[in-house]
Amino acid sequence: MSNSTKYVFVTGGVASSLGKGIIAASLAKLLQARGYSTTIQKLDPYINIDPGTLNPYEHGECYVTDDGAETDLDLGHYERFLNVKTSQANNITTGRIYQSVINKERKGEYLGKTVQVIPHVTDEIKQSIQELGKNGEYDIIITEIGGTVGDIESLPYVEAVRQMLWEFEDDCIVIHLTLIPYLAAAGELKTKPTQHSVKALLELGVQPDVLCCRTEHELELNLRKKIAKFCNVAPEAVIESRDASSIYEVPLLMQEEELDVVVLKKLGLSRKSSPDLDDWKQFLEKLHQPKTEINLGLIGKYVELKDAYKSINEALIHAGATNLCKVNIQWIHSEKLTKKNVASKLDKLDAILVAPGFGSRGITGKLAAVQFARENKIPFLGICLGMQCAVIEFARHVLGWDDAHTVEISPESKRPVISLMEEQKSISDLGGTMRLGAYKCELKPDSNIYEAYNREVINERHRHRFEFNSSYLEDFEKSGMIATGKNPDTGLVEVVEITDHPWFVGVQFHPEYKSTVAKPHPLFVAFVKAAIDAKK
């Protein structure tokens, strides 16, 4: 059977956290730079319908797409590397697969058959993979299988891959990402775990075509030959993947290793031109040759786990490069911040960012950070809950409303300056029910936000239940906190700024999701610039 779309599967072995997402995104970047339209998909073997209900400690940030899907953070890497938007179809979980199978069963669509993992669940997985290719939009679809080969929960996915390899023959290949550990005592790199991991794949009927080997030391030719011999792959298909100083170096490292060349050859595709990576290299040059630096405090309650703020971290890297500025992020735990110690902890900072979040943990620290930034005229960006904190702090200390709060934390507050959105009032389920995805926002001229975007209408992604309570807007504006961005259809306040401050912006949306290497986000670029200016 022939198929115009080509499929590349990426599996992982030996250990988790080897960076399948980055390898997949880097390969996609190289193929895209050669003129192939490419997309990436992540299959997650957990039973949650999506990561929206997961605590960030479990799985890092929840990444939101334009169409309002709550997805795995790897989709953020895909968008940042490719500058192409992803959607719900780019992230499938076991929960979603089973939900669809069970719904079909209830509708009688299986015509009296016993519904089984094979073929019904595997068919559903195969369909989800092919769904992305159905409009002929993509030449190549890279599908990353979450988890590690050998896990019970990823078995149906590997089986689906086996079936597709059989059905689509030359149009599918498998890249297996493994670890080559270095044993210091022996002074040697060890290939046995990789051999075992390939064996585990073979037991499931899948022969990998390419092995990407994570290693801390050079993989010499004799080792590559050894791995090739034991794992039935060509020596040139044994790719070394060394630790890089930045994830944005990985496409270039993979190019040096000719990962794209091997993949195209295996898929029977021509190399077209050599990859055009000029813009990418320019970005790296700027990243590595900063002319100045700033210290930026990121205040959040998950700062022990940097993955919880992945997109913010990356957006700051993009914005730093644009400004030729090294952004040193100081990760500050909101629970450890109090009114008493806030000055000593934040006074060396050139900029303060209060992060998104849910619930009451760490809220006092966030409010203290906002107050410190406001009173000391330090450039400030508040995102989602961070913006809501800016509103609460202003109400308490400028308007003098001591018990002003968000009803999320204090439902009894007499001054609910942040209240539940009307459409949220009848909702009780937690999964997938927030205000999600892209909404328009109209900006007020002569504001910092307008200056950043340089346009009147923007489109940004949301993930929240609570909103600025517009019944108080007049009081706020009279005292100097202005709504500089509103949803043109509903009037919801999406952006607030303080007039008597050089750069104080709170946004209800999440600008971080849309920052890419090709298009660093204008709001982060302006924020970093404001910090550089303030430092001068």
Taking CB under 6 A as the rule, which mask of x and - marks residues 12-41 in contact with ligand GLN? Answer: ------------------------------
50: contact with ligand GLN by CB under 6 A: no
342 is an interface residue for ligand GLN by CB under 6 A: no
Of 381 and 384, which has the nearer Cβ to ligand GLN? 384
Q: Are 463 and 70 in contact (CB under 8 A)?
A: yes
| CB of 64 vs ligand GLN, minimal distance in Å | 9
Query: Which among 246, 176, 252, 158 has a CA at the least distance from the CA of 214?
Result: 176
3-class SS shares of the chain: helix, strand, coil, % to 5: 40, 20, 35
| Three-class secondary structure of residue 454 per DSSP | coil
> Which residue from 463, 486, 501, 514 is in contact with ligand GLN, where contact means CB under 6 A?
463
Q: Is 5 helix (H, G, I), strand (E, B) or coil?
A: coil
- Which one among 357, 416, 485, 511 touches ligand GLN, defined by CB under 6 A? 357
In the complex, minimum distance from the CB of residue 464 to ligand GLN, in angstroms, rounded to a whole number: 3
Stretch in the footprint of ligand GLN (CB under 6 A) among 20-28, 149-157, 354-362, 392-400: 354-362
d(CA 27, CA 30): 5
Instruction: For residue 389, indicate whether it is catalytic.
Output: no
Q: Give Cβ neighbours of residue 299 (< 8 Å, ≥ 6 apart).
A: 332, 334, 337, 352, 353, 354, 355, 365, 366, 369, 386
Per CB under 6 A, 465 contacts ligand GLN: yes
Residue 462 CB, nearest approach to ligand GLN (Å): 8
List all residues 6 or more positions away from 528 whose beta carbon is below 8 Å from its beta carbon.
294, 296, 316, 319, 320, 322, 323, 325, 327, 351
512 in catalytic set:
yes
Candidate ranges 271-279, 314-322, 356-364, 394-402; the one touching ligand GLN (CB under 6 A): 356-364
Question: Binding to ligand GLN by residue 358, rule CB under 6 A?
Answer: yes
Stretch that binds ligand GLN, among 5-13, 168-176, 239-247, 355-363 (CB under 6 A): 355-363
Q: Which residue among the candidates 159, 467, 494, 512 is catalytic per the annotation?
A: 512
Any idea what the Cα angle at residue 396 is, between residues 394 and 401, rounded to 5°?
Answer: 125
Whose Cβ is closer to ligand GLN: residue 3's or residue 470's?
470
Q: Which of 176, 405, 510, 521 is catalytic?
A: 510
Distance CA 50, CA 54 (A): 8
Q: C-beta of 524: minimal distance to ligand GLN in Å?
A: 17
CB of 510 to ligand GLN, least distance (A): 7
Under a CB-based contact definition with an 8 Å cutoff, are residues 381 and 523 in contact?
Answer: yes
Window contacting ligand GLN (CB under 6 A); options: 94-102, 297-305, 395-403, 464-472: 464-472
In whole angstroms, the minimum distance from the beta carbon of 446 to ligand GLN comes to 27
Q: Do 493 and 486 meet the contact criterion of CB atoms below 8 Å apart?
A: yes
Instruction: Identify which of residues 78 and 468 has a Cβ nearer to ligand GLN in the complex.
Output: 468
In the chain, the amino acid numbered 107 is K
Q: Is the peptide bond before 119 cis (omega within 30 degrees of 0)?
A: yes
Q: Report the 3 state secondary structure along 234-270.
A: CHHHEEEEECCCCHHHHHHHHHHCCHHHHHHHHHCCC
Take residue 509 and report the two structure tokens written for it.
């949306």
Residue of 212, 231, 325, 384 with catalytic role: 384
Q: What angle do CA 106, 111, 112 make, to 5 degrees?
A: 85
How would you classify the pairing of strands 182-183 and 238-242?
Answer: unpaired
Q: Based on CB atoms, which residue is closest to ligand GLN, 132 or 385?
A: 385
Max intra-chain CA distance, the chain: 75
x/- track of binding to ligand GLN for residues 420-459 (CB under 6 A): ----------------------------------------
Minimum Å distance from CB 134 to ligand GLN? 33
CA angle 441, 484, 323 (to 5 degrees): 85
Binding mask 206-245 for ligand GLN (x = CB under 6 A): ----------------------------------------
Is residue 466 at the binding interface for ligand GLN, with CB under 6 A as the rule?
yes
Compute how many residues bind ligand GLN; rule: CB under 6 A.
10
DSSP 458: E
Q: Which region, judged by CB under 6 A, interacts with ligand GLN, from 52-60, 162-170, 353-361, 477-485?
A: 353-361
Q: How far is the CB of 450 from ligand GLN (least distance, A)?
A: 23
Name the minimum Å distance from CB 467 to ligand GLN.
Answer: 7
Task: Pick the binder of ligand GLN from 464, 486, 501, 521 (CB under 6 A).
Answer: 464
3-state SS class at 160: helix
Are 206 and 162 in contact by the 8 Å Cβ rule? The answer is yes
By CB under 6 A, is residue 408 in contact with ligand GLN?
yes
Active site residue 510: yes
CB of 345 or CB of 510, closer to ligand GLN: 510
Cα(67)–Cα(53) distance, rounded to whole angstroms? 18
**Cα separation of 1 and 130, whole Å?**
14
CB-nearer residue toward ligand GLN: 322 or 419: 419
Task: From residue 427, give the alpha-carbon distance in Å to each of 49, 64, 360, 462.
Answer: 18, 20, 20, 17
Residue 453's φ and ψ, nearest 5 degrees, are -85, -30
CB closer to ligand GLN out of 148 and 419: 419
Q: Please give the residues from 377 up to 406 whose contact with ligand GLN meets the rule CB under 6 A.
A: 384-385
Active site members: 384, 510, 512
Contact residues toward ligand GLN (CB under 6 A) are 356-358, 384-385, 408, 463-466
